[in-house]
């Protein structure tokens, strides 16, 4: 896809480590970029910084809390009232919590923020996604270790942050593949970016080991620019035009394991997602 065919992009979690890199790259490419952040000063400060650097006519702001279905639906509604087309949607926001949490509906927080929230937001934006639009969903190498339990998206009896993170990223992958096939004939592509293990603030154990992590682990893992490169590639590069339902890492297509492609929980997950969508009809 030629960059001059692109006009508007939206990046969720835009003020995070990788989100900053993706937002800046899309702005440098000539796109107008909508930065979506959690409500609060940090997101607004980042938005104002981009306005100063690139011009207020190039940047827009959309506050959204992915842990809240009400907030996601409200953000989508506000966006649809303002925009007539969205060429690139980068679902970059995510979390790796360290204690058990549920949202107002009782959904385990990783499942909502990393999976259901982004997919609900994407679905609601369908009216402004058209032929040639690209959806880029940030997944993780951990998806290969994930399992979708029969009680998804509710919390397990015993909380394990890494298991919950892996579950949510597998869920995002499975729903992305389903959506890609559903929207293929509309010319909307849905692909996944695996950034690798990236030095971002979500990598915290909140224990005595954290200072050692900062000294010994963070310097040798990927920094944000390298982590963001695949999402940037999928957003802009002409070579991936028309490619959909594909996982990419280091700007190259990666084969998904058969256990993911044939996951028996696929139908269960999709059925729950359809139920979630119906909430807006009530």
pLDDT, tens only, 13-58: 999 889 999 999 999 999 999 999 999 999 999 999 999 999 999 9
pLDDT score at 211: 47
Classify domain 3-281 at the CATH class level: alpha beta
- What pTM value is reported for the model? 0.90
The pLDDT value recorded for residue 224 is 61
Which residue's structure tokens are 């959909």?
244
> What distance in Å separates the CA atoms of residue 68 and residue 130, rounded to the nearest whole number?
26
Q: Which residue has the higher pLDDT, 1 or 40?
A: 40
Tens of pLDDT, residue by residue over 205-217, are 455 444 434 443 3
Provide the mean pLDDT of the chain. 90
Phi and psi angles of residue 73, each rounded to the nearest 5 degrees, phi first: -65, -40
Residue 1: pLDDT above 80?
A: no
User: Tell me, what's the pLDDT at 2?
Assistant: 41
CB 79 within 8 A of CB 62: yes
Identify the burial level of 134 via C-beta atoms within 10 angstroms of its C-beta, where 0-12 means exposed, 13-18 middle and 19 or more buried.
buried
Assign 196 a pLDDT band (cuts: 50, 70, 90): confident
Share of the chain above pLDDT 90, in %: 82
Burial 213-246 (b: 16+ CB within 10 A, else e): eeeeeeeeebebebbbbbbbbbbbeeebeeebbb
Mean pLDDT of 231-242: 98
Q: What pLDDT is stored for residue 198 in this prediction?
A: 46
Residue 7 reports pLDDT greater than 50: yes
What is the average per-residue pLDDT within 173-182?
Answer: 98
pLDDT at position 226: 78
Neighbour-count burial for 20-41, b at 16+ CB within 10 Å, e otherwise = bbbbbbbbebebbbbbbbbeee
- Measured from the Cβ of residue 65, the count of other Cβ atoms closer than 10 Å reads 20
Write the pLDDT tens digit of every residue in 95-143.
Answer: 999 899 999 999 999 999 999 999 999 999 999 999 999 999 999 989 9
- pLDDT (0 to 100) of residue 186: 98
Residues 178/123, Cβ–Cβ less than 8 Å: no
DSSP track, 93-131: -----SS--B-TTS-BHHIIIIIIHHHHHHHHTGGG--T
More confident residue, 257 or 204: 257
Q: What is the DSSP letter of 164?
A: H
């Amino acid at each position: 896809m030629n960059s001059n065919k692109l006009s508007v992009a939206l990046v969720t979690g835009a003020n995070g480590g990788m989100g900053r890199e993706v937002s800046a790259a899309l702005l440098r490419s000539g796109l107008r970029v909508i930065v979506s952040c959690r409500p609060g000063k940090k997101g607004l400060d980042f938005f104002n910084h981009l306005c100063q650097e690139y011009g207020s006519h190039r940047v827009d702001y959309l506050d959204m809390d992915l842990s809240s279905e009400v907030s996601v639906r409200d953000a989508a509604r506000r966006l649809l009232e303002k925009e007539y087309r969205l060429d690139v949607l980068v679902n970059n926001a995510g979390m790796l919590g360290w204690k058990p949490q549920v949202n107002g509906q009782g959904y385990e927080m990783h499942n909502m923020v990393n999976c259901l929230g982004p997919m609900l937001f994407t679905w609601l934006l369908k009216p402004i996604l058209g032929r040639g639009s690209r959806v880029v969903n940030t997944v993780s190498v951990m998806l290969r270790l994930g399992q979708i339990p029969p009680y998804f998206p509710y919390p397990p009896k015993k909380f394990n942050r890494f298991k919950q993170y892996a579950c949510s990223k597998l869920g995002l992958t499975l729903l992305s593949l389903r959506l890609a096939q559903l929207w293929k004939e509309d010319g909307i592509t849905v692909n996944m970016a695996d950034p690798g293990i990236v030095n971002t603030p979500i990598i915290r154990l909140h224990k005595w080991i954290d200072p050692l992590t900062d000294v010994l682990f963070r310097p040798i893992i990927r920094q944000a620019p390298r982590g963001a490169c695949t999402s940037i590639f999928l957003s802009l590069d002409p070579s991936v035009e028309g490619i959909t339902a594909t996982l990419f890492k280091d700007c190259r297509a990666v084969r998904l394991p058969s256990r993911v492609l044939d996951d028996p929980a696929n139908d269960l997950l999709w059925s729950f997602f359809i139920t979630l969508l119906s909430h807006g009809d009530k």
